[in-house]
Structure 1
Amino acid sequence: MEKSFRVNNFDLIRIFAAIQVLIFHAFDHLQIPRPDWATPLLYFPGVPIFYTISGYLISASFERSSDLRHYFRNRFLRIFPGLWGCLILTIGVASFFGFSFFSKQALIWLLSQMGGVIYTPEFLSGFGFGSYNGSLWTICVEMQFYFVLPIVYFIGKKIKHLNYLIFGAFFVFLIFAFTAKIYFPGIGTDNELRLEKLLRYSYFPHFYLFLAGVVMQRLQIYKSNWIYGKGLYWVVGFILLKILFPILSTPVLSIFSLLYLSVCTISVAYSNVGLSKKVLKGNDISYGVYIYHGLILNVLVSMGLVGNLNYLWVVILGACILGYLSWVFVEKPFLLKKGLAATSHVPTKLADVTASRA
């Protein structure tokens, strides 16, 4: 079988990653006791998967872009129409629950959100679980990836050693990630300090995962007989590694397991490569699932519907429906309007599907 960069299962992997994030957000915010079947899902955190896929695909897209304008236009079209649709619905739903958006603070908040600067304003702190959409912070991180990547390529081409620069940057940011884990242990926890939150919102502690994707793309790792079609072996090996060496789940050493997971992600993407197209029929609903599940959780919390495992399935079903509607009526039309490929299985524009739904 011919090994093609463009024929893969990234759409399915993104949906898995989005639902993984959704499930554990639902357990936390809906106060649902975590069932035993959910424990293995902890091994496959969705956000790091998104970052790796983003680095892998966006770097390929940038290399094929005719200029920076074309590159940033693609990024804009893939992120902002869907985000703006989610914001409009969020305003409508929050207004239904009695929150007013007729104020200077609300206007500043809305303009910030439309630009991808995500935060929860004071006037919305009482909506649901206290964050109007806790998943959207990764959009800010992704946007930083998009801006830094051309700089890396520009410097690399200037010194005529692009690969060396990318590999070097990967190791530098890997060391930074280790350092952040040691000196800022509260990042991403309930005890997160203001400085730690600001660091989490920056690209610095996450960039090594993005660059890991870039490295694997530059090396064309998908062509390797150790990668192509070997996804099941990598996943089983990853699970065994996590079980046999639980120390790899500690905050600092988890970086090693996340790098292993990055390789697993690429291998799974190039195993049984026709599966994504057969299952999804070209519909990429992962972004919508990711950005809308927080809104659904807030609605349930506001209605007092917590503590029951059945509500988890309500969130999953609702997010999938909204994700599909977002894809059909918002995301896909904007992509087609500009003459871009609407699905990742279309050969000419595979890499335009990004991972910030991370």
Structure 2
Amino acid sequence: MGGFDYLRLIAAILVVAHHARVLNGWPPLVLGQGLDLGALGVGVFFVISGYLVSASLERSPRIGVFLAKRALRVFPGLLAALLVTAFVLGPLVTSLDPLDYLSDADVYGYVLRTMTLYAVAYDLPGVFLNAPVAGVVNGSLWTLRLEFTAYLALAVLGAARRATPGVLASLALVAAAGSIALHAAGLDARGALFRIAYLAGVNGFLFLAGAALQACRIRPPLWTTLTAMIFLVTPAWFLGLPLIVLRLGLLDAPRPPVDLSYGLYIYSFPLQQWLAQEHQLTLATSLAVTLPFALASWMLVEKPALRLKTRLAPRASPPVPLSPAAALSD
């Protein structure tokens, strides 16, 4: 499953490329009707997550173990990123006196609230107030709440012994139908709640579709993948994405030595905001600044946290070495 490793990295770069435009105040690069680089990158992440995490649930039917593994994947890297953002980057870029900044309770609240995933704070005192997209510290973090909610929903299905191909496919169809209905109702005219519901429906469908494809053990033939690509230029672009991602992800490819995708995702936005405020934001500068943080995140935080997973469910025989993507799903 080496293809999934590279797809995750490509997805992260797509999100970075999207933000390199919008954080400069430019319109997003649109690939189809409603599909921009950011939506595509996030969508790829959700399909891969659904596919790999559902496989993890099969290997770890004990729900507590399953959720503990998911937490080890999400929270250590997130906590490190929040601490770096709040206590290293923040004092350097805030318009406040550094001592005033560090004595502000909102700095500590930023870390504590965001670690819950469900009360995410998007601002820090005096930070990025002069950026084109003013005051937003890390706009990427909203997806982690949706991602972890998908984990919880899958855990509930597993506990009820309902994480079956039929149930997963049915739920995916419901999510797709709801998303199409919301789009048809006119998102721009309906307000923020409709937009949030639409994003939840689309990405929920992608996660569930990935899980259903894994549960059905489907390996899509080339012709279905090519047909699915037609959807990418339509408002229902998300319907074709799971087959495309699965086809590419199942390609036999050598394993990369590191997985920089999560680090790129959680560090890029605040670093890009800093570059934008300094009028230095491009895709090249974004990657040049963020990749060292992503590498440090993988080597110092994420990889050691992943090793702890083996202690949650000891195996009788030595484990077969896994690719980074498989390790992330286990």
TM-score bracket, normalised by the shorter chain, equals: 0.7 to 0.9
Is 1:59 equivalent to 2:59 in the alignment? no
The alpha-carbon deviation at position 111 of structure 1 amounts to: 0.8
Structure 2: segments with no counterpart, 5+ residues = 313-319
Distance 1:73 1:21, change over 3 A: same
CA contact (8 A) 1:58 1:351 kept: no
Give the secondary-structure state (helix, strand or coil) at the position aligned to 1:75.
helix
Say which of 235, 248, 265 aligns to 1:290: 265
Of 216, 219, 227, the residue aligned with 2:216 is 219
Q: Distance in 1 between matches of 2:198 and 2:121?
A: 13
Name the structure 2 match of 1:268.
248
**Shift, 1:121, TM fit:** 3.5
Residues in 2 aligned to 1:30 and 1:167: alpha-carbon distance in whole angstroms: 40
Q: How does 1:90-239 map to 2 (within 5 A)?
A: 90-91=85-86, 92-98=88-94, 99=96, 100-117=101-118, 118-121=120-123, 123=125, 124=127, 126=129, 128=131, 129-130=133-134, 131-157=136-162, 162-183=164-185, 185-186=187-188, 193-196=191-194, 198-199=196-197, 203-222=200-219, 226=221, 230=222
Opposite residue 89 of structure 2, the aligned amino acid is V
> CA 1:185 to 1:93, structure 2 compared with 1: closer, same or farther past 3 Å?
same
Matched AA of 2:112: L
Find the aligned partners of 1:313 and 1:237 in 2 and give their Cα distance: 34
Kindly state the Cα deviation for residue 234 of structure 1 after the two structures are TM-superposed: 6.6
Q: CA, structure 1 residues 267+140, in 2 after alignment: closer, same or farther (shift >3 Å)?
A: same
**Contact (CA 8 Å) 1:234, 1:267: kept in 2 or not?**
no
**Unaligned segments of structure 1, at least 5 residues:** 1-6, 243-247
Equivalent position to 1:334, from 281, 289, 305:
305
Asked if 1:300 is matched to 2:275, the reply is: yes
Q: 1:120/1:192 Cα in 2 relative to 1: closer, same or farther (>3 Å)?
A: farther
Q: RMSD over aligned Cα, in angstroms?
A: 3.2
Quote the Cα distance in structure 1 between the aligned partners of 2:309 and 2:173.
Answer: 37
**Is the CA contact 2:43–2:206 (under 8 Å) kept in the aligned structure 1?**
yes
CA distance in 2, matches of 1:62, 1:34: 36
TM-score, L = length of structure 1: 0.76
The one-letter amino acid of 1:67's match is R
Query: What is the identity, as a one-letter code, of the residue corresponding to 2:138?
Result: N
Q: Identity across aligned pairs (percent)? A: 24
Corresponding residue pairs, total: 309
1:71 counterpart = 2:66: yes
Q: Is the 8 A contact 1:51 1:209 kept in 2?
A: yes
Q: Which amino acid is 1:152 matched to?
A: L
**TM-aligned CA distance change 1:348 to 1:15, over 3 Å:** closer
Deviation readout 1:96-126 (Å, 9 max, x if unpaired): 1125243333333321112223231473572
Aligned-partner Cα distance in 2 for 1:169–1:66: 20
Deviation of 1:297 (Å):
0.8
